[in-house]
Amino acid sequence: MLQPGLMMDRPLLVSGIIEHAAGQFGDVEIVSRETHGPLFRYTYAQCAARSRKLANALQALGLGPGSAIGSIAWNNHRHMEAYYAVSGSGMVMHTCNPRLAPDQLIYIINHAEDEVMLFDATFAPLVKGIATHCPKVKAWVCLSDAANMPALEGLTGLHCYEDLIAPHPEHYDWPDFDERTGAALCYTSGTTGHPKGAMYSHRAIVLNAMSGCMPGVIGISALDTVLPVVPMFHINAWCIPYATPIVGARLVLPGPRLDGPSLYELMETERVTISAGVPTIWMALMQHVEQHKLKFSSMRRTAVGGSAMPQALIAKFRDDYAVEVRHGWGMTETTAAATMGFITPKDQNLPRDQQHALLAKQGMSLFGIDLKVVDDNGATLPRDGVSQGELMVRGQWVMSRYYKSEQSALIDGWFPTGDIATIDASGRMQIRDRSKDVIKSGGEWISSIDLENTALQHPGVAMAAVIGVRHPKWEERPLLLIVRKPDTSVSREDLLAFLAERVAKWWVPDEVLFVDTLPVGGTGKVQKNELRKLYGGVFS
């Protein structure tokens, strides 16, 4: 007969994180870029105290356990306080992506039944446009002090955050409840149909945040200063705002300034050691650093994911700037990272380019996560690095069904990701494509990610996107869209010759188009559905 464990049954709750930080690392600093410009500084102890004030203020507004509180906000200290106040008091923190189309934003606010919206002044025009369509929202709270409130005359229920929390005490007894309770809600980007909600439990968040601190994951300790560029409005900023307080790392929040020069300046002046973001952010940063012949004086690691990190950029970070790259994979439905790639001891003696190629894969599953790839019939494919099929994931921070859906999202207990992947013998997973982006040419598959990665190795290429375009004979053929680096003149013929030397002959795109920009969506990914709309018929 199984024996019961005789340990205390203490739940894993988000409130425990901030109170731990207040108690153990009370004087460790949080630096936050205010929406109106200056840097604001305070400590974990002050953050905890203000979270408790906000919890009291929300209660005074008549909200209670299970209420949903929305946010449309940058990475800043008030948003961080809300993360803890809302979830810690048993409410649900619904982070909204401001880059969603307004009708999608209205949809998710109504679907989540948000009763309060916290928003940054930047988004005042957005709020003005959507407020009358969100009947359940009774308070619109601008994350600001009185001096910097935007003009929003006529908005019913408008509050200034600082005025709202000011009268309330710093004392609040965080309630204890089941760790499987919903803590935070985030909707998928909804490129097809309505966005769908993933409700993260306290347990999932705490476990993922602890995992993120581990040396082989993001690897955060009290010695670090961490700058999450990845937004708090999507997938919990990869749980970094929950991870740094666990270990007492200094936290730097960049607010609205996410351009290369601003990020570089923040990294240097605040002596940032670890940062995290999507590849498009790092491309912009690297362009700035290269153009001005700068160096990183404190940065030692960057965590990257959200879309494939090009091998050429990995090489640049590692070889030219001595910044280590951690490349991970995750999705809205997996709370934050589910895999992470790093150079293991057995890889250390490989030539550098082979190491970069390993890091261009999406890494190994984290402890707590299982991965497999399956064929069209659901049969598990071998871990040989070649057999590709749909990636299936299960684990302690993987969603089981979408918010308000009666139906399980799982197949035999596994979440089907919609990503096409391989797993090699050492467990490294590689995303070959989104299933809807993979190019089917003459019955064979061409990986758009592989082609983009190869094109990005050309020194004249700033951004690359490959889409499958309808073709009368082959069903689909690849079309390559290129944004040139400033002051370069790479030609169609150069690029096709460059690719022909590096990929199978039948993978070489049929056409190359040069464009000024590529459409980038709310989460920093190139919007291939937009490209398909524009260019999907060029061969027919």
Instruction: Give the residue numbers marked as catalytic.
Output: 188, 333, 440, 445
* Residue 53 vs 111, nearer CB to ligand AMP: 111
Is residue 388 a contact residue for ligand AMP (CB under 6 A)?
no
Task: Express the helix, strand and coil content of the chain in percent, nearest 5 each.
Answer: 30, 25, 40
Going across the sheet that includes 139-142, the strands are: 158-160, 139-142, 114-119, 68-72, 92-95, 182-187, 197-201
| Phi, psi values for residue 20, rounded to 5° | -60, -50
Q: Check: CB of residue 324 under 8 Å from CB of residue 193.
A: no
* Residue 57 vs 438, nearer CB to ligand AMP: 438
Q: Check: CB of residue 31 under 8 Å from CB of residue 40.
A: yes
Is residue 305 a contact residue for ligand AMP (CB under 6 A)?
yes
Is residue 331 a contact residue for ligand AMP (CB under 6 A)?
yes
* Residue 88 vs 328, nearer CB to ligand AMP: 328
Question: What's the rounded Cα separation, in Å, for the pair 9 and 289?
Answer: 50
What is the chain's alpha carbon radius of gyration, rounded to the nearest angstrom? 23
Show contacts with ligand AMP in window 477-496 (CB under 6 A): none
The least CB distance from residue 329 to ligand AMP, in Å, is: 4
* Residue 245 vs 478, nearer CB to ligand AMP: 478
Is residue 306 a contact residue for ligand AMP (CB under 6 A)?
yes
Is residue 277 a contact residue for ligand AMP (CB under 6 A)?
no
Question: What's the rounded Cα separation, in Å, for the pair 198 and 217?
Answer: 23
The least CB distance from residue 392 to ligand AMP, in Å, is: 12
Question: What's the rounded Cα separation, in Å, for the pair 49 and 492?
Answer: 59
Would you give the binding string for ligand AMP spanning residues 418-457, x where CB under 6 A is met?
-x-----------x--x-----------------------
Binding part of the chain for ligand AMP, among 57-65, 263-271, 326-334, 502-510 by CB under 6 A, reads 326-334
Q: Which residues pair with 446 in a beta bridge?
A: 439
Q: With both helix axes pointing from N to C terminus, report the angle between 240-247 and 202-213 in degrees, rounded to the nearest 10.
A: 60
Nearest to 437 by CA among 461, 468, 413: 468
The least CB distance from residue 184 to ligand AMP, in Å, is: 14
Is residue 307 a contact residue for ligand AMP (CB under 6 A)?
yes
The count of other CB atoms within 10 Å of the CB of residue 39 is 15
* Residue 431 vs 479, nearer CB to ligand AMP: 431
Binding part of the chain for ligand AMP, among 86-94, 100-108, 324-332, 500-508 by CB under 6 A, reads 324-332
Is residue 51 a contact residue for ligand AMP (CB under 6 A)?
no
Tell me which residue has tokens 């189309």: 101
* Residue 121 vs 235, nearer CB to ligand AMP: 235
The least CB distance from residue 526 to ligand AMP, in Å, is: 11
Question: What's the rounded Cα separation, in Å, for the pair 431 and 488?
Answer: 30
Give the residue, chosen from 523, 524, 526, 528, that forms a contact with ligand AMP under the rule CB under 6 A: 523
Q: Check: CB of residue 342 under 8 Å from CB of residue 216.
A: yes
Is residue 90 a contact residue for ligand AMP (CB under 6 A)?
no
Nearest to 87 by CA among 13, 22, 169: 13
- The sign of the dihedral angle between the CA atoms of 375, 381, 384, 385 is positive
Is residue 200 a contact residue for ligand AMP (CB under 6 A)?
no
Show contacts with ligand AMP in window 237-276 (CB under 6 A): none
- The sign of the dihedral angle between the CA atoms of 470, 471, 474, 475 is positive
Is residue 362 a contact residue for ligand AMP (CB under 6 A)?
yes
The least CB distance from residue 431 to ligand AMP, in Å, is: 4
The least CB distance from residue 327 to ligand AMP, in Å, is: 6
DSSP codes joined into one string, 426-466 = T--EEEEEETTT-EEETTEEE-HHHHHHHHTTSTTEEEEEE
Question: What's the rounded Cα separation, in Å, for the pair 167 and 214?
Answer: 40
* Residue 326 vs 471, nearer CB to ligand AMP: 326
* Residue 251 vs 308, nearer CB to ligand AMP: 308
Q: End-to-end distance of the chain based on CA atoms, in angstroms?
A: 68
The least CB distance from residue 45 to ligand AMP, in Å, is: 33
Is residue 76 a contact residue for ligand AMP (CB under 6 A)?
no
The least CB distance from residue 391 to ligand AMP, in Å, is: 8
Binding part of the chain for ligand AMP, among 101-109, 327-335, 364-372, 379-387 by CB under 6 A, reads 327-335
Angle at 12 between CA 227 and CA 199, to 5 degrees: 70
Would you give the binding string for ligand AMP spanning residues 167-196, x where CB under 6 A is met?
---------------------xx-------
Give the residue, chosen from 51, 87, 332, 441, that forms a contact with ligand AMP under the rule CB under 6 A: 332
The least CB distance from residue 18 to ligand AMP, in Å, is: 25
* Residue 109 vs 431, nearer CB to ligand AMP: 431
Q: 188: which residues sit within 8 A by CB, 6+ positions away?
A: 195, 196, 197, 198, 332, 333
* Residue 50 vs 234, nearer CB to ligand AMP: 234
* Residues recorded for the chain: 540
Is residue 280 a contact residue for ligand AMP (CB under 6 A)?
no
Which positions touch ligand AMP (CB under 6 A)? 188-189, 235, 305-308, 327, 329, 331-332, 362, 417, 419, 431, 434, 523
